[in-house]
Amino acid sequence: MSNPMFDVIQEDLKQLDAGLLDAVSSPVELIAEVGTHLVKAGGKRIRPALCLLAARGGPRFDLQRALPLAEALELIHTASLVHDDVIDQADTRRGSATANARWDNQIAILSGDYIFARAFALIADGDYGAHVSKRLAELVGNLSVGEIIQDHTVYQAVRDLNNYYDRIRKKTADFLEICCELGADIGGMDRADQQKMAEYGHCIGMAFQITDDLLDIWQSSEQIGKPAGNDIRQGIVTLPVIHALTVSPDAEELERIVTNPEMTDSMVQRALDIVRATDGPDIARAKADEYLDRARQVLPGCLSPEIDEAFRMLADFIGERDF
Amino acid sequence: MSNPMFDVIQEDLKQLDAGLLDAVSSPVELIAEVGTHLVKAGGKRIRPALCLLAARGGPRFDLQRALPLAEALELIHTASLVHDDVIDQADTRRGSATANARWDNQIAILSGDYIFARAFALIADGDYGAHVSKRLAELVGNLSVGEIIQDHTVYQAVRDLNNYYDRIRKKTADFLEICCELGADIGGMDRADQQKMAEYGHCIGMAFQITDDLLDIWQSSEQIGKPAGNDIRQGIVTLPVIHALTVSPDAEELERIVTNPEMTDSMVQRALDIVRATDGPDIARAKADEYLDRARQVLPGCLSPEIDEAFRMLADFIGERDF
């Protein structure tokens, strides 16, 4: 799939993909094979794209300097997903076999470590300074912490939306924020504009995750490449479910299902029906739109029209997302 | 256990332990609990001790500058062991419950990631320069690669000793080499002396792993805190076994056992008896001594008598090790 908002960095992204394959190459055949599979099974490259766009938005853009940072960001994302898939015992991701399914847990855990290490090697090679290294180390730490918190609050019908927002911030928004901020940093934007780009990334990330969670409720498995109701099945309550737990006439039944680690497929289906019958999906959509409006507002004035337009198109795209 | 060769850095190691606990602290209680357990269950602190001794051996030693590096080295080791224990489904390590046994695989995988990230955060904070970051990223990558190679050559009766030496270099000697080299680096030794310290670390590491492998054949489970014959059980052939596969009159029986993933406890015991009846253990001991002699020879002349003595005592200690 080609995202129109990435047209301006289409050539950059080709180089990025080549760089990613190079980063996971190894004289050990098995490792090269796993790395190549994971890079090729990769998704929309939103994180490196944000970094590259932000870097292009600055006064001192240098593609060869920006690429290793963008690659490291994608590799950190990849490694983190590889470990999540082991934990979730997931067989597929984005329609491709996970590393744990295609090889085994052992390979998946160690390949994840290897890919994290390759990301930090790219950062060390790039010599971006202690600030960048520190932000990325914090990012990896916070991703793990966020995942631990999420995994240990599953099958709880927590009705507190702040808890939900905090969770998706740690899971997605902080990451997209860092991509924009560090891209702006190495592109040479001043600190004020870096912070605006960081806020754009945060808002895009919140909207993206809310939309993602909404799609899990709303879409068929063909469209999103994983079974609908996957979050509910894993005991993760998202915005529409939290809302339904408050407003649905069937809230008690919904609570019994989402707090039951042994729930069956038909129970998941019933939970989806209950949530879909409420205005939870509309509320989630409205909240995502609110974040997207804020994202558009906060874009710094220093951006060239072309880059500004790309960032606006990304916001539009997330608002209309149905993949 | 107090290692006499570490007397000269006894106070440093106390500060190191405090720093390690601080590094794994977290506002999230569960994470702090796992981190504290892992740090307290930690072993002999050989890696940070080597780093601190080498740093003290240099002309520009600064404890507060050396400590975060030493802590990062220990955290990388800890994180790596946490993931190994998940992979090996190990219940105990050094007599303490593993993270996967005390909590679960999920917590163990994510805590390992968290601890890796904390190590890289310490390095970023320390601002040691791109060289140090790069060496550590390579180290983590190579540890994963070494483990993947080892895990995918199990239950094979490979008789090639070079294969064995290569394996223990990746598993242990490279790590100890980096500890010595980077300690010497931040202590201000010149490049030639850094390389001598690196070679000392390499030799100590080779001897240490050969001895460790030997103890797995030779000792009772009480002495080493894990069952004897553990390597054989896991399909890992070490120097004495490789030797026995060549010289023992019962070599064929031994090969049938070590290549059988379904081997029983009595088969492990029989394999141990076959290996112990050969001169394999003596050969391993002689090889370890050879490395230790080289380690003593290569120590740079710039060391103070006190530090030089500590490094020699460590070589002696490994030579006499029976724990």
User: Which tens digit of pLDDT belongs to each residue from B189-214?
Assistant: 999 999 999 999 999 999 999 999 99
Mean residue pLDDT of chain A comes to 92
DSSP A58-124: STT--HHHHHHHHHHHHHHHHHHHHHHHHHHT-SEETTEE-HHHHS-HHHHHHHHHHHHHHHHHHHH
Q: How far is A219 from chain B (nearest CA, A)?
A: 28
End-to-end CA distance of chain A: 10
Among the listed residues B218, B317, B236, B228, the one whose alpha carbon sits nearest the alpha carbon of residue B275: B218
Q: What is the pLDDT of residue B232?
A: 94
Check residue A219 and report its DSSP letter. Answer: S
Structure-block tokens of residue A164: 């939900």
Which residues fall within 8 angstroms of residue A249, CB to CB, at 6 or more apart? none
B30 contacts A113? CB cut-off 8 A: no
How many interchain CB pairs under 8 A, A with B? 132
pLDDT tens, position by position, A161-188: 998 999 999 989 999 999 999 999 999 9
What are the CA-CA distances from residue B310 to residues A93, A96, B49, B218, B235 (Å)?
Answer: 53, 54, 10, 28, 36
A121 contacts B148? CB cut-off 8 A: no
Q: How far is B158 from chain A (nearest CA, A)?
A: 18
Could you give the domains of chain A?
4-320 (1.10.600.10)
Structure-block tokens of residue B265: 């406890």
CA gap B303, A284 in Å, rounded? 66
Below-70 pLDDT ranges, chain B: 1-3, 220-226, 322-323
pLDDT tens, position by position, A43-68: 789 999 999 999 999 999 999 999 99
B113 contacts A144? CB cut-off 8 A: yes
DSSP A30-64: HHHHHHHHHHHT----HHHHHHHHHHHTSTT--HH
User: Chain B residues within 8 A (CB-CB) of chain A?
Assistant: 26, 28, 30-31, 80, 83, 86-87, 105-107, 109-114, 116-118, 120-121, 123-125, 127, 130, 133-134, 136-141, 143-145, 147-149, 151-152
Among the listed residues A70, A301, A74, the one whose alpha carbon sits nearest the alpha carbon of residue A185: A70
Which residues fall within 8 angstroms of residue B223, CB to CB, at 6 or more apart? B215, B322, B323
CA gap B277, B248 in Å, rounded? 8
A152 contacts B109? CB cut-off 8 A: no
A28 contacts B145? CB cut-off 8 A: yes
Minimal-distance CA residue of chain A relative to B151 = A106
pLDDT tens, position by position, A219-228: 755 555 567 8
Residue of higher predicted confidence among A158 and A137: A137
In chain A, pLDDT over 70 holds for what percent of residues? 96
Q: What is the pLDDT of residue B1?
A: 42
B116 contacts A105? CB cut-off 8 A: no
B125 contacts A134? CB cut-off 8 A: yes
| Residue B306, strand partner residues | none
Residue in B111, B116, B127 to test binding to A, most A beta-carbons within 10 Å: B116
Structure-block tokens of residue B114: 């968290």
A151 contacts B141? CB cut-off 8 A: no
